[in-house]
């Protein structure tokens, strides 16, 4: 699919079919957030004040982790201005929602709203985009990583979901810090370190064993849930020259009750079409997308999307394919030959085009085989 359209093109065609209330803030979403805050406080108090059996503590940790993740989804919605529009209140509520994930509102809006949404799947400008062969060839660290056999790398990649959101947040702090004006840098640092200070303070109060169940394990659970969504949002889609949500985004399906508890975070293509719309209306948006562009819309069950991620590499080859550099195996992307039900690859060496030799040389260099 090469006829790309910016998200505004789609939005302009769909907006007349949507009710006016869909473009207004939905303050009632805060009731869900209040329920999760109550669960978090109750769970932490139960672990901290009572000497419960480890099995009960583990169950509470899972509930806490689920609540941490759900608050993160709500914080994402709040900081897009879809719950309240008053800037100071938006940032305060967003900070509270993101508190368990230790991400500040000012950094998040710079990283996610102003960069990722504006430049989705742009090789250089999207901070969440995965590298191309050209970028891999320039990085010694990435070249070393991609010498590791693919099955082992896939295992560690999925294992890292339990910490990846936290690590990426830290990386984004360094990545964007100098883009902020001097007067805002102190605010960014304060918003980043204050949540960590409270969680480390909890460690000092309750000790390692209870802190493990009250915060650390829940954080790992929350990371896994959040990153399971984020990993499927774009990583099976191509890099694109135009920010086209129907080309560069994937919506996944989960059980309806999970979708409600996660504030419809599964509707990711819909979110990129209307980021300033409450996710409450995304199921309606999905209906119209399927009516108007059924052949362009990408959707699949969460489990199938994760399985496709496991079976494919994360390096882009000429933007619309994925490549395993060490073996030269080339896979399609969504809209460009990837069939999640039957994932197959082609061999780079079988190409007959004039550029094939040059591409093979880049592949070997990226995989650290240039002197072999």
- Does residue 134 or residue 260 have the better pLDDT? 260
Percent of the chain scored above 90 by pLDDT?
83
- Least confident stretch, 52-56, 135-139, 186-190, 334-338: 135-139
Neighbours of 186 (CB within 10 A): 10
- Residue 150, token pair as written in the block: 């693919």
Instruction: Determine the 3-state secondary structure of 213 from DSSP.
Output: helix
Q: What are phi and psi of 320, to 5 degrees?
A: -110, 15
Running DSSP on this structure, what letter comes out for residue 281?
A: G
pLDDT tens, residue by residue, 178-207: 999 999 999 999 999 999 999 999 999 999
Q: Do residues 161 and 227 touch, judged by C-beta distance below 8 A?
A: yes
Tell me the C-alpha distance between 43 and 62, whole Å. 10
* C-alpha span between 119 and 269 (Å, rounded): 14
User: What's the confidence (pLDDT) of residue 9?
Assistant: 95
Is it the case that residue 370 has pLDDT exceeding 60? Answer: no
φ and ψ of 45, to 5 deg? -65, -40
Give me the residues paired with residue 29 across strands: none
The DSSP secondary structure of 46-109, one letter per residue, reads: HHHHS---HHHHHHHHHHHHHHHHHHHHHHHHHTTTSS---HHHHHHHHHHHHGGGT--HHHHI
Take residue 324 and report the two structure tokens written for it.
């395993």
What residue ranges do the domains of the chain occupy? 5-312
Question: Could you tell me if 230 and 302 are in contact, meaning their C-beta atoms sit under 8 angstroms apart?
Answer: no
| pTM > 0.85 | yes
CA angle 134, 136, 142 (to 5 degrees): 175
pLDDT of residue 360: 55
What is the Cα–Cα distance from 320 to 120, expressed in whole angstroms?
14
252: helix, coil or strand?
strand
CA–CA distance from 218 to each of 16, 223, 353 (Å)?
43, 8, 51
Q: Which residues pair with 336 in a beta bridge?
A: 333
Question: Of residues 350 and 234, which shows the higher confidence score?
Answer: 234
Question: Could you give the CA distance from residue 50 to residue 206 in angstroms, rounded to a whole number?
Answer: 11
């Amino acid at each position: 699919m090469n006829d790309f359209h910016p998200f505004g093109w789609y939005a302009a065609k769909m907006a007349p079919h949507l009710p006016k209330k869909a473009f207004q803030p939905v303050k009632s979403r805060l009731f869900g957030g209040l329920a999760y805050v109550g669960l978090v406080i109750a769970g932490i108090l139960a672990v901290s004040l009572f000497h419960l059996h480890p099995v009960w503590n583990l169950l509470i940790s899972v509930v806490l982790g689920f609540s941490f993740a759900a608050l993160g989804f709500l914080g994402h919605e709040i900081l897009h201005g879809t719950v309240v529009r008053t800037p100071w209140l938006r940032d305060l509520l967003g900070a509270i929602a993101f508190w368990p994930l230790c991400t500040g509102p000012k950094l998040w809006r710079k990283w996610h709203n102003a960069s990722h949404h504006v430049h989705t799947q742009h090789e250089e400008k999207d901070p969440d985009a995965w590298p191309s062969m050209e970028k891999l060839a320039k990085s010694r660290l990435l070249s070393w990583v991609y010498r590791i056999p693919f099955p082992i790398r896939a295992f560690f990649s999925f294992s890292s979901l339990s910490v990846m959101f936290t690590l990426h947040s830290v990386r984004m702090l360094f990545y964007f810090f100098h883009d902020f004006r001097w007067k805002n840098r102190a605010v960014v640092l304060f918003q980043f370190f204050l949540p960590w200070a409270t969680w480390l303070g909890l460690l000092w109060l309750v000790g390692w064993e209870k802190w493990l169940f009250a915060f650390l394990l829940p954080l790992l659970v929350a990371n896994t849930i959040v990153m399971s969504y984020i990993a499927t949002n774009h990583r099976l889609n191509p890099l694109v020259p135009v920010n086209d949500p129907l080309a560069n985004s994937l919506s996944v399906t989960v059980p309806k009750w999970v979708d409600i508890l996660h504030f419809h975070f599964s509707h990711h293509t819909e979110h990129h079409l209307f980021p300033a719309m409450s996710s409450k209306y995304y199921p309606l948006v999905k209906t119209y997308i399927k009516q108007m562009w059924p052949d362009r819309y990408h959707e699949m069950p969460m489990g199938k999307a994760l399985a496709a991620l496991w079976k494919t590499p994360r390096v882009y080859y000429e933007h619309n394919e994925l490549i395993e550099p060490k073996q030269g195996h080339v896979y399609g992307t969504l809209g460009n030959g990837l069939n999640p039900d039957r994932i197959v690859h082609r061999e780079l060496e079988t190409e007959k085009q004039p550029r094939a030799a040059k591409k093979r040389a880049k592949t070997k260099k990226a995989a650290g085989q240039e002197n072999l």
